[in-house]
Structure 1
Amino acid sequence: MLEGRWLNNNQRMFLVNVYAPCDLARKRVLWDDLKQLRASNPPGAWCFLGDFNSIRSQEERISSSNRIADPSGISDFNQWISEMELQEIKCVGSSFTCIRPNGSVKSRLDRFLVSDQWMSNWPDSCQHVLPRDFSDHCPTILQTKMLDWGPKPFRVADWWIHQKGYQRVVREAWSSAQQGGWGGVVLKNKLKYLKEVIRQWSKDYGFINDKGIHKIQKKLNEVEDLASNRSLSEDEIKAKRDLQQELWEASNAYESLLRQKSRAKWLKEGDRNSAYFHKVINFRRHYNGLQGILIHGVWIQNPMKLRMKL
């Protein structure tokens, strides 16, 4: 295990290199040892990497003899990953990392498993399986690099519709963007202008994030501290009611935003489980991210080179 700190944000990091045994009994001993290792260390961003000598499903192994992998080993490995609260990051390249010299068996044994803290810091992490040479295992590397593939699509947040003034802003922006010309171009320009107006209107609601909500809570606590020492004036009572209403609206809007990003519609509306929503958001963002595009057998990761080819 390698332990250190990421200097940019003073984040504690743990990198654990794993080489698991082949038999199931000793694997179970290793899984328990790794649980104790993590439990005995302080919280941080964890990454377990290496040859786990285990597969997560029958699809991760192909054998010429059509031999089925031991379901107990698959179940134990997946259960250990779940109990450790780890997730496997997206993989690019070959589906198998271990190939016998005669090609009779192909398996996915090598992988990177990371914690939620890791994904929060580096949501664009991706593992790349490279071609093998002398070894029967393919080299696998972990890359974390932000790629700019162009502008992101504009989406309407659900909480906007319930805010006072939103419909008025939309109507005024749509009516004021009057111009002549071909209908398709006019519609495109009106939508573009409306998008910028809504974005600016959304920025004015600066409390739709953790920091903004905490600021409202701090102001409300200050007023309540005054009320514990003396009677509040009518203006202070009104200010307290306004802060309570503002806090309620901001909290509901923030939860609505997280629900929409996570798309976890099956959760009961109103349940506050922000940590869960953040995990789902990071997981979806990670798997939806583009790490590169394969064009005529050439793997391109540089957006500028892609634009030149197109």
Structure 2
Amino acid sequence: MSDAQCFSMWGDSNVGWLHNEGENGAGSLLTMWHKEVFLYQSHLIGKGFIVFFGKHMQTDTDIVVVNVYSACNLQDKKTLWGELSSIKTTHQKCPWCFIGDFNVVRRTNERKGKSTRGSQTSEIRLFNEFIEGNLLLDIPIVGMKYTWFKANGSAKSRLDRVLVSEEWIQKWPMCKQYIQPREVSDHCAVIVKSMLKDWGPQPFRSIDAWLMESNFKELVKDKWNSYVVRRDGITNFKDKLKILKEDLKV
């Protein structure tokens, strides 16, 4: 990797990056950040991970983000989970976010078209022990249920996910993971986003997820035009917002 490649991918030159080359091109990982948003502090690179320590500038919060790619065999998975668990003990009080391809599901209904007997059942149990042992939370998903699809559509699984610490949730309580449509890869991209919007003491709050509904704008327009409020100016506007809020909850 080079600065020029990373700047081109991001579309901005004010970008930092870390690259884990993997082994013979397999398991390569790239972590990028915008320098106006995150302040880089340090990092650790190992087989299947990049751990990035930095500060979220807007909230002045020290955070840890882990970019993960797990190998297919169980022994490599156990080694990876053990290393990440050891690293996490050194920064327990920071908000942590683990994101990437874990190459394992948490439960049998996250896999379709492939058996989960034998060693795969052991993988599920050990993966859940890693999550629970590190007090991680699997934040809610929005979008598709599966993140990996076999080319012919005969199998699909949720191999990619976001796991965060309790400290992360305390900082961003409305955090969700958005599964994007599959395009160039057999995996779907995953976007982590906090939905909390602070509009001050106003009587109305907007939630970004509403905008993902195809009929949202028409619904707001139709509802707004149907309201009959017999007051003037800003009071009329405020009352309409209160009614709209209740309709949007429904």
- TM-score computed with the length of structure 1 as normaliser: 0.49
Residue 31, structure 1, aligned to residue 81, structure 2: yes
- Work out which of the residue numbers 130, 134, 149 in structure 1 matches 2:180: 130
CA distance in 2, matches of 1:30, 1:305: 49
How far is 1:4 from its partner? 1.1
How far is 1:3 from its partner? 1.2
Give the CA RMSD over aligned residues.
Answer: 2.7
Alignment of 1:123-202 (within 5 A): 123-147=173-197
| Residue in structure 1 matched with residue 210 of structure 2 by the alignment | 292
SS of the equivalent of 2:53 reads strand
How far is 1:145 from its partner? 2.8
Opposite residue 79 of structure 1, the aligned amino acid is E
- Work out which of the residue numbers 18, 29, 49 in structure 1 matches 2:68: 18
CA distance in 2, matches of 1:147, 1:305: 22
Alignment of 1:39-188 (within 5 A): 39-41=89-91, 43-63=93-113, 67-69=115-117, 70-147=120-197
Please tell me whether Structure 1 or Structure 2 has the larger radius of gyration of its CA atoms: 1
| Residue in structure 2 matched with residue 180 of structure 1 by the alignment | none
Runs of 4+ in 1 over 6 A off after TM superposition: none
For the Cα contact (< 8 Å) 2:105–2:111, is it kept in 1?
Answer: yes
For the Cα contact (< 8 Å) 2:182–2:188, is it kept in 1?
Answer: yes
How far is 1:118 from its partner? 0.4
For the Cα contact (< 8 Å) 1:147–1:291, is it kept in 2?
Answer: no
Greater relative contact order, per chain length (Cα 8 Å cut-off, separation 6+): 1
SS of the equivalent of 1:39 reads helix
For the Cα contact (< 8 Å) 1:45–1:117, is it kept in 2?
Answer: yes
| Residue in structure 2 matched with residue 307 of structure 1 by the alignment | 220
> For residues 8 and 59 of structure 1, do their structure 2 counterparts lie closer, same or farther at Cα, with a shift above 3 Å needed?
same
What CA deviation, in whole Å up to 9, does each residue of 1:232-260 have, x standing for no partner? Answer: xxxxxxxxxxxxxxxxxxxxxxxxxxxxx
The sequence identity of aligned pairs, in percent, is 34
CA distance in 1, matches of 2:138, 2:158: 12
Aligned positions, number = 167
Opposite residue 35 of structure 1, the aligned amino acid is S
SS of the equivalent of 2:106 reads coil
> For residues 59 and 293 of structure 1, do their structure 2 counterparts lie closer, same or farther at Cα, with a shift above 3 Å needed?
farther
For the Cα contact (< 8 Å) 1:125–1:143, is it kept in 2?
Answer: yes
How far is 1:305 from its partner? 6.8
> For residues 130 and 309 of structure 1, do their structure 2 counterparts lie closer, same or farther at Cα, with a shift above 3 Å needed?
farther
CA distance in 2, matches of 1:305, 1:144: 25
Instruction: Write 1 or 2 for the structure with the bigger share of helix.
Output: 1
> For residues 61 and 293 of structure 1, do their structure 2 counterparts lie closer, same or farther at Cα, with a shift above 3 Å needed?
farther
- TM-score computed with the length of structure 2 as normaliser: 0.60
Opposite residue 307 of structure 1, the aligned amino acid is V
How far is 1:43 from its partner? 2.3
How far is 1:88 from its partner? 0.7
Opposite residue 87 of structure 1, the aligned amino acid is L
